[in-house]
Amino acid sequence: MNKTFQDKIEYAVFQLLLNGFSFLPYNTTRKITESLALFVGDTLGVRKKVAMYQLRTILTDKSEAEIRQIFRQMWRKYGTFIAETYFGDNTELLSRCTLIGGEYAEEALSRGKGFIFSSAHLGNFELASRFLASQFPVAAVVINQRNPYFNEYIVRFCKQHNMVVIFKKRALKGIIEHLRKNYCVILQHDQHAGKRNGIKTTFMGHTAWTAAGPARISQKIGCPVLPGCIVRTPENRHNLILTKPIEPSTYTKDNEGLLSMTQDITDRLAEEFILKYPDQWFWVHRRWRD
């Protein structure tokens, strides 16, 4: 099949699904997406071995029944994430968000060099970007999609919510440009980075390749890194928590300083968020690799 034609078909199916679900009441859609996510992850077992292995390896204080419950809740909440992202009312969703630590962002922006929001795939991380963009100028670094029609969709979606898109491939120029314009630049910092772009750190007690970009850019520009995540509450409200800034001036500008700063960012995300809310982190990504 011609690739361009295949891309069009894939995007048309995506739009058909969006349009079809949009006719249903939101609560009905949410229940369907939660059930589908649980079916895909638990019954069909998509990346189930990876997630369960990582859960057992990291959460050694949990029983097998507790691990199983965390795994199922992770998929169910991912289904909620899908419903909120594609079918939720934006005004209603934003009204259910609370910003904690906003003073750190305001102080960082007062310096005129922007700040890096270093985050993780926890809670409704997409809503975190939208909510931040309702408070501050935001540029989000996103992964390039194989299908160009989805790239165009992402750009339209982000513009609709007052965000600038910086695609991850060759993103450095755009990141530096927007930090110098005093933007908040959003970088996800919780996935395997590989030897080419990463640095070896300890992540939740195990060696992992972690992106050195946030620390390296912070040191170059002189802007702080604010680690943080959005956390879902039992009432399906959202607390976007910005933690105390990690300042580049406190580290040496060499490999040792780069490693130390990257490790501190990683520890903050792990200790303050992932380990506290394990059922809200997406464990299916193979984080620990050689």
Average pLDDT, the chain: 95
User: Looking at residue 196, what is its pLDDT?
Assistant: 85
**Residue 287, pLDDT above cutoff 90:** yes
Average pLDDT of the residues in 220-230: 97
User: Looking at residue 77, what is its pLDDT?
Assistant: 97
Residue-range domain boundaries for the chain: 1-88, 95-280
Hey, what CATH class is 95-280 in? alpha beta
How deeply is 72 buried, as exposed, middle or buried, from its count of CB atoms within 10 A (0-12, 13-18, 19+)?
middle
Confidence category of residue 46, pLDDT binned at 50, 70, 90: very high
Average pLDDT of the residues in 42-51: 97
Beta carbons of 114 and 218 less than 8 angstroms apart: no
Sign of CA dihedral 136, 192, 167, 89: negative
**Residue 125, pLDDT above cutoff 70:** yes
Q: Provide CB contacts within 8 A for 208, sequence distance 6+.
A: 192, 200, 201, 202, 287, 288, 289
Beta carbons of 225 and 105 less than 8 angstroms apart: no
**Residue 221, pLDDT above cutoff 90:** yes
Summarised one tens digit per residue, pLDDT across range 135-166 is 999 999 998 888 999 999 999 999 999 999 99
- Residue 279 is given by DSSP the state G
User: Looking at residue 1, what is its pLDDT?
Assistant: 61
